A and B are shown apart, each in its own frame.
Chain A
Amino acid sequence: MTLQAVVIGTSAGGVQALSQVLPRLPADFPAPVLVVVHVPPRQSNSLVDLFAAKCRLPVKEAEDKEPLAPGTIYFAPPDYHLLVEACGTIALSSDEPVNHSRPAIDVLFESAADAFGPDLAGIVMTGANSDGAQGLRAVYAADGQAIVQIPATAEVATMPEAALTACPDARTMALERIVPALEAMIAR
């Protein structure tokens, strides 16, 4: 594989969990990183400001039709699904919520699996529902790398547990192991 993109999904406890992952990404990380965090629809995207201050990579809200840039962290805007087109551009949609969520992790993961196949890493972390489980299975089925936070280490274990039920062969790891694992994928 050549790692072309990383997708991350999380919900309850996600901001703290992401704080242990995204700031560890090195400034020369070559792949775009797309993140879905479940947030209430009308909350302005304060996640961007929060993580821009902590990360070495540029952080921004994903924009419709924007070409993915290497080494950039994209957050899904509140109240929109985030998808990736096969040609490597971002797409947003206001289709109905999936798993009661918009943005939904499954929507991002399934479209990214379709676009990047084996060159994708998908990561499911702490959360209180099962969004992301089907998406992670799609990543794995397309020969991408499926990673789940060890449920016992998650603030809320429901989401990682559901991901492991749907995708039992996913690798589990503690949050601090995730960035080294991604770097190893690049080096390969």
Chain B
Amino acid sequence: MGESIEDIEIQLLLDAVYRHYHYDFRHYARASIKRRLLQARSQWGYDSISAIQSAVLHDESILPQLLNFLTVQVSEMFRDPSYFRALREKVVPHLRTYPSLKVWVAGCSHGEELYSLAILFAEEGLFERTIFYATDINPAALRAAQAGVFPLERMRLFTENHRLSGGHTSLSDHYTADYDRAAFSKSLRERTVFSDHSLVTDAAFGEMHLISCRNVLIYFDRELQDRVVGLFGESLVRGGFLGIGSKESLRFSEHADLFAEFVREERIYRRSSQ
């Protein structure tokens, strides 16, 4: 089949967003982008993707809403508890050997992963020596991460995940419940720098000991994945750790040789020393 009109419109919209706003979604995996844009179209009541393009070019107040469609995903605290258990049992002993630590949560969205790591580091006695960097391209998501407020109904799942991850405090020690919301303790983010950063267009972050970037790479095409894996390689200290999503892999990346598998089944890699 030839390229459909919708596919042409999507390409033009992504070009327009890049040229006018410098948000670059051109190398995002297309099937998911298309699904989200079609959702936006029907939710906003537009006739076509071209109508979204016109709206976003002429009215910059549309951009934040479009970014929400294109970027935000709801995650879980301690998602894949076995990943956090592996961090706790296998990575933390190495991290203890450093007098100070830098941790980067790349693509932090609403902060579920950041707060999970902050709690884990507090439980393991590493919190006071760590600076966390939480980055995302979506300013609204960063604000949400900075607020650290989640629907109370999600705490049951988060608590269970936290327990399975080997947590030895009670999750409820770290938040206050208020009607239907759980607000996480301010102290958990006092050592966090929240920052607008694009994995697509921005440069490396220096001297990280741990980068956690899970279920972000699956949204990128091969070419962009390669760039980002290279960026992580540059950003880590020798012997630093990289955690990616359980269905992601560095296997096909041209920068794969920068990393060695550390905990294979949890997709935790270690920056090689060369």
Q: Which residues on A are within 8 Å of B, measured CB to CB?
A: 63-65, 77, 80, 83-86, 91-96, 107, 110-111, 114-115, 117
* Interface pair B74/A91, CB less than 8 Å apart: no
Q: Which residues of A contact B215 (CB under 8 A)?
A: 94
Question: Are the CB atoms of B74 and A96 closer together than 8 Å?
Answer: yes
- Contact assessment for A92 and B35 in the assembled complex, using a CB-CB cutoff below 8 Å: no
Give the nearest-CB partner of B72 in chain A: A96
- Cα-based distance from A94 to B75 in the complex (angstroms): 8
Which of B1, B31, B245, B252 sits near A94, CB closer than 8 Å? Answer: B245
In the complex, B196 has a CB within 8 A of chain A: no
For chain B, give the interface size range.
20 to 34
Determine if B29 and A63 form an interchain contact, defined as CB atoms under 8 angstroms apart.
Answer: no
Contact across chains for A95 and B32 when beta carbons are under 8 A apart: yes
B:212-233 near A, CB below 8 Å: 215, 218-219, 222, 225
Given contacts A96-B73, A110-B35, A114-B31, 17 further A-B contacts (CB under 8 A): A63-B249, A64-B218, A65-B252, A77-B247, A83-B31, A85-B31, A86-B31, A93-B218, A94-B218, A94-B245, A95-B32, A95-B35, A95-B73, A111-B31, A114-B4, A114-B34, A117-B1
Q: Pick from A63, A64, A84, A117 the residue with the most CB of B within 10 Å.
A: A64
Residue B254, interface by CB 8 Å: no
Interface string of B1-43 (1 = CB under 8 A from A): 1001001000000000000000000000111101110000000
- Residues on the A chain within 8 Å of B74, using CB: 96
Of the candidates A64, A86, A95, A117, the one whose C-beta lies within 8 Å of that of B248 is A64
12 residue pairs from A and B, CB less than 8 Å apart: A64-B218, A64-B247, A65-B225, A83-B35, A86-B31, A93-B29, A94-B75, A95-B36, A95-B73, A96-B74, A111-B31, A117-B1
> In chain B, residues 190-238, which have Cβ atoms closer than 8 Å to a Cβ of chain A?
215, 218-219, 222, 225
CB distance from A45 to the nearest CB of B (A): 11
Contact present for A91 and B218 (CB under 8 Å)? yes
The winner among A85, A93, A94 for most chain B CB atoms within 10 A is A94
Residues of chain B contacted by A93 (CB below 8 angstroms): 29, 31-32, 218-219
CA distance A80 to B74 in the complex (A): 13
Q: Report yes or no: A91 in contact with B36, Cβ–Cβ below 8 A.
A: no
Complex Cα distance A181/B30, Å?
32
* Distance between A30 CB and nearest chain B CB, rounded to angstroms: 19
| Assembly CA distance A107 to B32 (angstroms) | 9
The distance in angstroms between the C-alpha atoms of A72 and B4, with both chains bound, is 28
How many angstroms from the CA of A85 to the CA of B249 in the assembled complex? 18
Query: Which residues of the partner chain B approach A107 to less than 8 Å between Cβ atoms?
Result: 35
Say whether A85 contacts B73, CB under 8 Å: no
A85-B29 Cα distance, complex, nearest whole Å: 8
Q: Which A residues touch B218, using CB under 8 A? A: 64, 91-94
Q: Are B32 and A91 in contact (CB under 8 A)?
A: yes
